[in-house]
Chain A
Amino acid sequence: MSDTAPEVEKYAASSGSSENSDILDLKDDEGWEDAEPDQEDTQYISLMDDEVFTDINAMLKHCKENHGFDFLEVRQRLGLDFYGNIKLVNYIRFQVHSGQKVSASISKEDFEDEKYLKPVLEDDALLFSLDELPEVLEDGQSAEKGKGVAEPGALVARVSELEEELRKMQLQFDNYRATVSQTLDERWNERSQSGPSKQDGEDKEEKRDDDSHYFTSYSYNDIHETMLKDTIRTDAYRDFIYNHKSLFAGKTVLDVGCGTGILSMFCAKAGAERVIAVDNSAIIDKARENIFNNGFADKITCLRGKVEEVTLPVDKVDIIVSEWMGYCLLYEAMLDSVIWARDKYLKPDGLMVPSHMNMWVAPVTDPDYIADHIAFWRDVYGFDMKAMQAGIHEDAQVLDMPASTLCAEPFPFLQLSLHTTTVKDLVFKRKWQAKLKQDIDALDGFIIWFDSFFMPSREDTVPKDVRAEEWAKAEKKGIAFTTGPDGKVTHWKQGVMLIDNTKAQATSRKEGEELSGELEYAVPEDNSRALNVGLTWKFGEEKEASQTWRMR
């Protein structure tokens, strides 16, 4: 879930134009036009028989005049919401298809079953055009039962708010208006449950809100495109879920931070009975549409809000699936929420997906990077800009380092077992050590990465010092992937902590020299979503050095 760190750069980004020039290679464009939705000949199949119309109103008129069924009157009488409309359509189609009559005195109970959320007809144009029909008026009487009667003033205000919101949304995706109006209903409901929203100005002034930027940053397409196109990441989840369908069959799954809904849909496709997808970002509106368009609306429930605040429709879940990993694994602190959800909702024998994380640290030497990005400031168009060097060593960078920059074998400094890890395990101080495998001119820094393991049973263990690439190669149980320099690059790249060698001349070192120290993860007081990484190191019995880096 990481793409918000500001220091993200391509490794050696200065190579400039050459790496950008290949993006627009020109080839033929066969097939593109086919991918465009064909909007011209929308066909509405009659609710009552097989006749086909190109106009929705003509179709409904046909039903009314020739079959005595006034769809508009029925939906108005029943005061149906978006889901209600969909169920009604599918119920009618189901009845007609199986040769049964549908009477105009139909009641809500007739099509209460969730199964009617599933389209009976493939690509039923009527379902996508429901909002072209006149609005169902809320007149109090039509709210048949179960719902408390809202105050007229509040109702009017709510309706006008909805209308305003709707107008804006329609501009954005007019093709999907039908789904959107439902989205709004749900969102308003959730907002009233989850207390003050992040737009609440007063709240913002009172206390610092580390979260709103975090959630906003996940509301744009780009970041989701990056994550979905990170095949190492997405393939791992897909492969685990599809290779272990028996684990998911008939189960209830919670997806924490669902984003576009991809993991929820994997689970539903693998046979999960029910999936609850939670995200506090606006992207969940898209997730809802995706889920609906792919026919999983009856299986997957989307809830917008923090997992700590939303009300789940179930008490317990069998499986929690989440892609919560950040830069250096713990940047953005999403794991806290996953652990909270586990403690509250996961059954005692439930499964966490993924299940284990092994974290690695290794010393690096990279003279080219230092020359390009640090020595650069010594002479910029004839000016001394060394002042710009200072901060480079204060922040951790996110870079994909070539494996050749590692000057020692990586050291496994921590394993998190997701079934048992607690929030206090996420701030820690661990010893580490390494032995140089080559001569180096200078120790330039350290890199940190993590390996993810997906084990099919909560009894399964993973050795604390096993690397994901070895695990996968040995075809051990489950699925594993690495974000380290030996694997294919992921969007997490690696966390790079550069040692400040600008003040004292760095010493050259010989192969075989040993170094050791401590590695600390801490959460800074001023930003609960940031991360401080501290390292100490010393060669043999020499004086110990230390430095702290921020990820923000």
Chain B
Amino acid sequence: MADQKEILSGLAEIVNEVAGVPVDSVQLDKAFTDDLDIDSLSMVEVVVAAEEKFGVKIPDDDVKDLRTVGDAVTYIAQAGA
């Protein structure tokens, strides 16, 4: 089981890799679209990379509910990472 901190740092690496956003900017309260400028297609790349990294499934229908980094961290933690 990864804890929230581990998930956040893993997710930050992914967001950095996909969209070039500095790792330090990826904080729990940041919104993917409005704060980090991650568009819907980059979000798919983030989600698929997160699935691989944390061994979870994040269906398309759930992706739209992941507004902030915190939403994603909570989702991944609950999905069993």
> Are chains A and B native binding partners rather than an unrelated pairing?
no
Residues of B participating in the A interface, judged by any CB pair closer than 8 Å: none
